[in-house]
Structure formats: C-alpha cells, structure tokens
C-alpha cells in the first residue's frame, strides 16, 4: 500500500499530509476525481502551485495508482525528497516512463552536486573526516566524479588509498597533468619507503621462504551463471574476450559507440561558426548582386538572378553582358553553391553523422577556395568582406580537426555486467527492459536481478525476470522468479499468463529431448 504519511508535507501550512488527514477528505466519484486531476494539471501549467498541490494530493490519496497524478505532483512540491518520492511512485507504476526516469536522474544529479559543494566547503574548513565521508558518498553514487576523487586523494589517510584515488581520477581525466604528477610522486614515495624498510630489515640466514600453496581451480569457480563479464549478453554462454560473435546463438559481441556521448564545447563553437558562415554566404550572394547592379546601373538587383541561373530574363542583353563582365556567372554560381552547401551542412552538423563531418571539412576547404576567388574579383572596401569570409572558412578547417571525436565512433565489447549509470532499483529495471527488447536476455537478467534486490515486493519485476530466464532456458530459475510473483499477486492476470507460458515451454522442451 503506497502511503503518503510522513513523506509529503503540506506546503505552506507546515502540516504533514498523512492518512489521518486524508480520512477527513470527502470521497469523490471517478468522474469527479478525473475532473480534479485535470484541474490540478491545468493549475500546475498556469503556475498556481498551491492549488495544483491540493488537487493532485486529493487524487493520489484516493487513487494511489494514478501515475499521471504522481508525475504532475512531483513538479509542484517544493521539497526535493518529496519530489523523489513522487517520481519513484511513477516508476513503480510505469517502469518505462522515460520522462519520470530522466526527472529522477536530474534530481539526483542536483542532490549529488549539493553534496559535492558541501564536501568541498568542509574540506576547506579543515573538517577532514566529515569531508571525506561526503566525498565517499559522491563517488558511491557516481564513480565518474573526477573532482571528488581528487579531493579524496588529498584527504586520504595513507598512500595506498591516495594512489587508488589518483588512479581513478586519471582514468576519468587522462589529460590532467596535475593528477598525473601527484600519482607519480606518490608512487616514488612508496618505492622509497619500501627500500628504506628493506634496508632496515635484519637478514635471516638459513631460513627458507615458505612455499607457495597452489590454489585449487575449484576455489575460483562461482555458482553465478552471469559472473563471467565475457559471457554472451544474448544467451549467457561463455565466450572468449576476442570473439566477434557468440558461437552458440550467433549474436554480435562488439558494437560501435560514439567517442563522445555529449557534444563537446568545440562542437558548439563549430556549429555557431557554421551558422555565421551560412549567414555570411547569404549576405555575400545578396551583396554581389547589389554590387553588380550598382556597377551596371540596373534598377533592381534581383532581376539579374534568372540570367545568372541561365533562365530567361527581362534585363537587356547589353546590360547583362556588362554584368557578366563585372561578375562572371561561374563566380556567382560558385557562391550560390557555397551558400546551399553551408545550409545543408548546418542542418546535418547537428545530427553528428560521419558524412556531415566530411561535408563540414569539405565546406571549409571549398569556402576558402571560393572566398579567395571572389575576393580577387573585388575592389576597394569590398575586399574587406572577402577577407572576413576567408578568415571564417580557414577557422572551419581548423575546427573540423578539433571536433572529429564528436562524429567518429569506436568499437567496444559488450560486457555481461551492470551499466555503470544504474545506481538504484528503477535504473536497473529500466535497463533490464531495454536489453530485453534488444534480445540481450542474459544482460537483461543481470539488471533485473539487481533491480529485484532493491524492489523485492514488485510482482511485475519478478515476472520480467521469469521471462528473461525462460528465454535463457533456465526453467528452474524462471519457476523461482514466478513463485515470487505468485506470492505477491496470486490472482494476477499476468502471473497466470507467464505460468501458462512456462508450462508450455517446459512441455515442448521435454518433448524435444
């Protein structure tokens, strides 16, 4: 039973929205409850948070399985803990709700940043133990926090821990020379201490070293079928690290991943410059037409466009001949082509496809050549415009080599282990469902088992795990997961469906054997 008692606090009144208060509220019919939900959502959209809170709390108090009400309520409560509770309820009811998952992740990142800032302040005040505990909380929740690892190294009580922290920081930020120097200094110091201890240790004569006892192979075996990180993510069969495909199911064991998950700062610089270049090319084409019209005495510059495109034109032939002498058709068409290409690249650049990177690079090279050619045709102050175009085109070429990692990918082995960004039950559950949809049943089972450790009383999660085990032909494990679902929801329709499916699959397997 989902409870609000002691969790959601009445905003403004300071009172707790608990079950005692809810008993005093009138019970609403379904249509009245729906009307209050819509009014609450409308109030939230209009910025009337107090009214939205009151209406949405009435809805979730009487219909605690209303995921929509929980989601909107999360946006109008002030306390971050209350917001997290609301979002967790949404994910318990709708594990595939991406908006709730992303909102919960953003909330946790914000909380993590607050812990990090508090830890830094404590360290700067000399509160070493308190700061170290806070930094440990940070890396336990997100081990990719470089700043936390660096601070932990600074606060480490011994060289061993300091070396580990610096190694972790350097793995996450290989270009950090300060961390690299600190790590080398720690390692040199450890060697010096070891040598000093060895020199001070008395030499024992006639004493044989103790023989090393070999560890039996059985001691290394594990009962967990998914313990091997190089197991097939599809069927769970053991594979070699260098295998390209699973020999049992034929699944691909390597995938290509972008070198950069997020767009780099240089990417946005390049994108902004591409916007400027597209605007510059547009202005350039217009300026060229106006310049030609001015030189030949044409009334309106746009009337020259059809003639430059090879179409019928109302401009007199002598005037056209003079215009072509001032600005050859080839130069105009090249400028127009550069404009169109810059617009295509601008749109495609955002998509980060590899062909658009080469288009971006080629656009920079072509723009350089063309702007140089156009500039040579200009006279007087107009040359300054051409020089500006040349400068931007050359900058595009330089930037292309700075952003190549935004477009290229690298091949990585799919490992049979939990995703590092998954930190709690709903994270593991969502990843498990995604891998199941991709047919990676072993990897799905790994994540669903992790999720079950966080959410042991969720019948749907037990059933998802049972289905994953069914796909892996682990019928005993599937029966155990199904038993957990039966215990929680003995008459559930989905429980009955999965039970029938398990019986059919087992019967088919026994006939085949």
In a domain, 234, yes or no: no
Cα 45 to chain centroid distance, Å, stands at 28
- Which of 426, 490, 492, 501 lies closest to 468, judged by CA? 501
| Angle (nearest 5°) at CA 354 between 350 and 356 | 50
Q: What is the rounded CA–CA span in Å between residue 10 and residue 162?
A: 46
- Which of 364, 375, 351 lies closest to 399, judged by CA? 364
Which one-letter DSSP state was computed for residue 225?
T
pTM over 0.85? The answer is: no
In a domain, 216, yes or no: no
Query: Cβ contacts of residue 332 below 8 Å, gap of 6+?
Result: 285, 288, 289, 308
Residue 1 pLDDT exceeds 50: no
- Regarding whether 342 and 297 lie in a shared domain, the answer is yes
Residue 92 pLDDT exceeds 60: yes
Look up the domain containing 137 and give its range: 109-192
Final residue in a domain of this structure, among 192, 225, 255: 192
Q: Please give the radius of gyration of the chain, using alpha carbons only, rounded to the nearest integer.
A: 33
Residue 511 pLDDT exceeds 50: yes
In a domain, 220, yes or no: no
Q: What is the pLDDT of residue 439?
A: 93
Q: Which helix H or strand E contains 333, and what residues bound it?
A: helix 329-349
In a domain, 25, yes or no: yes
The residue ranking higher by pLDDT, 238 or 314, is 238
- Which of 236, 263, 262 lies closest to 249, judged by CA? 236
Q: Are strands 409-413 and 254-258 parallel, antiparallel or unpaired?
A: antiparallel
Q: What is the pLDDT of residue 15?
A: 33
Strand partners, 245: 252
Torsion angle, alpha carbons of 115, 121, 127, 132, to 10: 40
The residue ranking higher by pLDDT, 290 or 315, is 290
pLDDT tens track for 197-215: 565 444 433 434 444 333 3
Q: What is the rounded CA–CA span in Å between residue 208 and residue 447?
A: 50
320 burial level (CB within 10 Å; 0-12, 13-18, 19+): middle
Strand partners, 256: 411
- Regarding whether 389 and 310 lie in a shared domain, the answer is yes
Mean pLDDT of 374-393: 75
In a domain, 242, yes or no: no
Which one-letter DSSP state was computed for residue 405?
G
- Which of 413, 31, 489 lies closest to 244, judged by CA? 413
- Regarding whether 298 and 184 lie in a shared domain, the answer is no
Strand partners, 16: 9
Residue 28 pLDDT level (bands cut at 50, 70, 90): low
The CATH number of the domain holding residue 495 is: 1.25.40.10
Residue 292 pLDDT exceeds 50: yes
Residues 66-94 as b/e (b if ≥16 CB within 10 A, e otherwise) read bbbbbbbbbbbbeeeebbbbbbbbbbbbb
Residue 380 pLDDT exceeds 80: no
Query: Cβ contacts of residue 118 below 8 Å, gap of 6+?
Result: 134
Percentage of the chain beyond pLDDT 70 is 85
Mean pLDDT of 80-100: 84
Percentage of the chain beyond pLDDT 90 is 13
Q: How far is CA 27 from CA 17, 32, 58, 350, 467, in A?
A: 16, 9, 9, 52, 39
110 burial level (CB within 10 Å; 0-12, 13-18, 19+): exposed
- Regarding whether 293 and 357 lie in a shared domain, the answer is yes
Q: What is the pLDDT of residue 183?
A: 87
- Regarding whether 151 and 56 lie in a shared domain, the answer is no
Token readout for 55 is 């209406």
Residue 489 pLDDT exceeds 70: yes
Q: What is the pLDDT of residue 239?
A: 92
Asked if 437 and 96 touch (Cβ cutoff 8 Å), the reply is no
Phi, psi of 393 (to 5 degrees): -65, -40
- Regarding whether 148 and 274 lie in a shared domain, the answer is no
Query: Cβ contacts of residue 249 below 8 Å, gap of 6+?
Result: 232, 234, 235, 237
The residue ranking higher by pLDDT, 223 or 364, is 364
**What value does the mean pLDDT of the chain take?**
79
Q: What is the pLDDT of residue 30?
A: 65
- Regarding whether 371 and 321 lie in a shared domain, the answer is yes
- Regarding whether 387 and 292 lie in a shared domain, the answer is yes
Q: What is the pLDDT of residue 506?
A: 83
Residue 25 pLDDT level (bands cut at 50, 70, 90): very low
In a domain, 329, yes or no: yes
Neighbouring C-beta atoms of residue 212, cutoff 10 Å: 6
- Regarding whether 369 and 326 lie in a shared domain, the answer is yes
Domains contained in the chain, number: 4
Final residue in a domain of this structure, among 192, 210, 228: 192
Q: What is the pLDDT of residue 38?
A: 86
In a domain, 213, yes or no: no
Q: What is the pLDDT of residue 209?
A: 43
Mean pLDDT of 132-155: 87
Q: What is the pLDDT of residue 197?
A: 55
Q: How far is CA 447 from CA 343, 427, 441, 453, 477, in A?
A: 44, 9, 10, 10, 15
SS (H, E, C) 16-55: ECCHHHHHCCCCCCHHHHHHHHHHHHHHHHHCCHHHHHHH
Mean pLDDT of 181-204: 67
- Regarding whether 187 and 127 lie in a shared domain, the answer is yes
Residue 217 pLDDT exceeds 50: no
Final residue in a domain of this structure, among 96, 118, 144: 96
pLDDT tens track for 33-87: 778 888 888 888 888 888 888 888 888 888 888 888 888 888 888 777 888 888 8
The CATH number of the domain holding residue 86 is: 1.25.40
- Which of 398, 156, 383, 415 lies closest to 284, judged by CA? 383
Q: How far is CA 17 from CA 166, 388, 393, in A?
A: 47, 65, 62
Residue 141 pLDDT level (bands cut at 50, 70, 90): confident
Highest mean pLDDT among 200-214, 217-231, 476-490: 476-490
pLDDT tens track for 294-335: 888 877 788 888 888 888 887 777 888 888 888 888 888 888
Q: What is the rounded CA–CA span in Å between residue 307 and residue 325?
A: 13
Residue 5 pLDDT exceeds 50: no
Q: What is the pLDDT of residue 23?
A: 37
Residue 220 pLDDT level (bands cut at 50, 70, 90): very low
Asked if 176 and 184 touch (Cβ cutoff 8 Å), the reply is no
Highest mean pLDDT among 57-66, 160-169, 244-253, 287-296: 244-253
Neighbouring C-beta atoms of residue 367, cutoff 10 Å: 26
Query: Cβ contacts of residue 257 below 8 Å, gap of 6+?
Result: 409, 410, 411, 412
**Lowest mean pLDDT, pick from 107-121, 196-210, 427-441, 499-513:** 196-210
Q: What is the pLDDT of residue 478?
A: 92
Highest mean pLDDT among 246-250, 256-260, 453-457: 246-250
- Regarding whether 440 and 310 lie in a shared domain, the answer is no
Q: What is the pLDDT of residue 233?
A: 94
- Regarding whether 327 and 279 lie in a shared domain, the answer is yes
In a domain, 208, yes or no: no
């Amino acid at each position: 039973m989902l409870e609000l008692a002691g969790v959601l606090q009445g905003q403004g009144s300071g009172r707790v929205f608990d079950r005692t208060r809810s008993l005093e509220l009138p019970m609403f019919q379904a249509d009245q409850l729906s009307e209050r939900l819509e009014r609450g959502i409308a109030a939230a959209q209009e910025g009337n948070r107090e009214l939205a809170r009151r209406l949405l709390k009435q809805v979730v108090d009487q219909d605690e399985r209303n995921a929509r009400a929980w989601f909107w309520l999360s946006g109008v409560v002030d306390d971050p803990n209350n917001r997290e509770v609301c979002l967790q309820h949404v994910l318990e009811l709708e594990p595939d709700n991406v908006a709730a998952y992303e909102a919960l992740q953003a909330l946790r990142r914000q909380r993590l940043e607050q812990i990090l800032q508090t830890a830094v302040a404590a360290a700067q005040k000399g509160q070493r133990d308190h700061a170290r505990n806070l930094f440990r909380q940070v890396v336990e929740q997100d081990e990719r926090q470089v700043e936390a690892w660096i601070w932990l190294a600074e606060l480490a009580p011994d060289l061993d821990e300091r070396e580990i922290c610096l190694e972790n920081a350097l793995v996450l930020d290989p270009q950090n020379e300060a961390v690299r120097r600190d790590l080398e200094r720690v390692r040199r110091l450890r060697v010096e201490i070891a040598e000093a201890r060895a020199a001070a240790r008395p030499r024992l004569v006639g004493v044989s070293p103790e023989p090393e006892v070999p560890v039996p192979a059985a001691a290394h075996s594990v009962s967990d079928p998914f313990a091997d990180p190089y197991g097939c993510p599809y069927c769970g069969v053991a594979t070699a690290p260098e295998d390209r495909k699973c020999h049992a199911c034929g699944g691909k064991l390597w995938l290509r991943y972008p070198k950069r998950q997020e767009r780099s700062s240089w990417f946005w610089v390049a994108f902004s410059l591409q916007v400027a270049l597209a605007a510059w090319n547009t202005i350039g084409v217009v300026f060229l037409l106006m310049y030609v019209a001015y030189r030949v005495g044409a009334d309106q510059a746009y009337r020259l466009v059809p003639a430059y495109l090879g179409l019928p034109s109302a401009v007199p032939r002598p005037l056209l001949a003079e215009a072509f002498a001032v600005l050859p058709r080839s130069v105009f068409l090249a400028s127009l082509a550069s404009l169109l290409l810059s617009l295509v690249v601008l749109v495609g650049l955002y998509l980060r496809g590899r062909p658009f990177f080469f288009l971006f690079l080629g656009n920079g090279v072509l723009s350089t050549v063309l702007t140089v050619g156009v500039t040579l045709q200009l006279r007087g102050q107009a040359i300054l415009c051409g020089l500006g175009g040349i400068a931007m085109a050359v900058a595009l070429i330089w930037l292309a080599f700075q952003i190549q990692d935004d477009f290229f990918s690298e091949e990585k082995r799919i490992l049979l282990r939990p995703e590092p960004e998954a930190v709690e039950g709903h994270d593991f559950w969502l990843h498990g469902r995604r891998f199941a949809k991709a047919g990676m049943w072993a990897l799905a089972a790994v994540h669903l088992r992790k999720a079950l450790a966080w959410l042991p009383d969720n019948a749907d999660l037990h059933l998802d795990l049972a289905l994953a085990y069914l796909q892996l032909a682990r019928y005993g494990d599937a029966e155990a997961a199904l038993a957990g679902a039966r215990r929680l929801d003995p008459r559930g329709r989905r429980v009955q469906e999965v039970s029938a499916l398990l019986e059919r699959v087992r019967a088919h397997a026994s006939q085949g054997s």
